[in-house]
Amino acid sequence: MTTQAEQAERFLQLHRPGAPLLMANAWDAGSAKLLASLGFEALATTSGGFAATLGRLDGSVTRDEALDHARVLAGAVDVPVSGDLENGFAADPAGVAETAKLAVGTGLAGFSVEDYTGRPEDPIYDIDQAADRVAAAAEVAHRGPARLVLTGRAENHLHGRNDLADTITRLQRYQEAGADVLFAPRVNDAGDLRTLLASVDRPVSVLALPGCPPVAELAALGVARISVGGSFAMAGFGAVVEAARELREEGTYGWWDRAIPGGAAVRAAFGA
């Protein structure tokens, strides 16, 4: 087993512009073990996928629940795990710093902090407050023997604020505040990404969504990381929905075509 410091160092090294890290998001210990067995070199938690395992929607998980979940996943695999810590579960920098301190104790190799307020009427923090929050998280993430990888997230485009110039300004501020990786979910247009990448000096992560350029094109642009968010978890739930409807509505068993290779993959991953 590698140490947390080694995991964090390895995680940052995997961010190579032009040869992006494909980072899958796991939603429980079993999915983490399965994804690691399939060759993913690093994993992340997913707030939405984890919330779904609890019968809730994204944004409803408490800080303690998210940290306990991160501890379980980090302990389940021997690859770096990054924690989706939403907006740090606090508005003020001191609160974000406390969340970061607790995250360090979970064994994570890194974590992300969003600039989303959680208030639909005013969804994004003021840029100065947002940068101060990133700086507070960075100070904690980088001060110990394990230098955790901090991802600064600009959430504009997830919340109807499709202002690329503001998003880039925010990412520049988060870079200055100490973020190791920059992430603006839903900025997927090749031209927009080219502009963004030319404007910052840190590895940039992209969220794989429908219509997103394929991996080879993102690599050519200089993207350093590609994550899937909660989509793998939702794909799993979608397969259950299809199987359940087939059984209830058609009375047939075609879902076994997917269950058999799935079972074989689980036995291979969990038996190792």
As a whole number, mean pLDDT of residues 37-48 equals 98
As a whole number, mean pLDDT of residues 40-56 equals 98
| Tokens, residue 226 | 């590609």
DSSP for residue 214: P
CB 15 within 8 A of CB 219: no
φ/ψ (deg, to 5) at 72: -65, -45
SS3 129: helix
Q: How confident is the model at residue 272 (pLDDT cuts 50, 70, 90)?
A: low
Whether 44 has a pLDDT exceeding 90, the answer reads yes
> Could you give the angle at the alpha carbon of 232 between the alpha carbons of 231 and 236, nearest 5°?
115
pLDDT in the model for residue 252:
98
Query: Alpha carbon 139 to chain centroid distance?
Result: 20
**Interatomic CA distance for residues 175 and 135, integer angstroms:** 9
Domain boundaries, the chain: 4-235
pLDDT digits (tens, 9 = 90+) for 102-146: 999 999 999 999 999 999 999 999 999 999 999 999 999 999 999
As a whole number, mean pLDDT of residues 13-42 equals 98
pLDDT in the model for residue 237:
98
Q: Whole-number mean pLDDT of the chain? A: 98
For the chain, give the percent of residues with pLDDT over 90. 99
Q: Does domain 4-235 have CATH number 3.20.20.60?
A: yes
pLDDT digits (tens, 9 = 90+) for 182-230: 999 999 999 999 999 999 999 999 999 999 999 999 999 999 999 999 9
pLDDT digits (tens, 9 = 90+) for 227-245: 999 999 999 999 999 999 9
Whether 1 has a pLDDT exceeding 80, the answer reads no
pLDDT digits (tens, 9 = 90+) for 62-71: 999 999 999 9
For the chain, give the percent of residues with pLDDT over 70. 99
As a whole number, mean pLDDT of residues 87-101 equals 98
143: enclosing H helix or E strand: helix 127-143
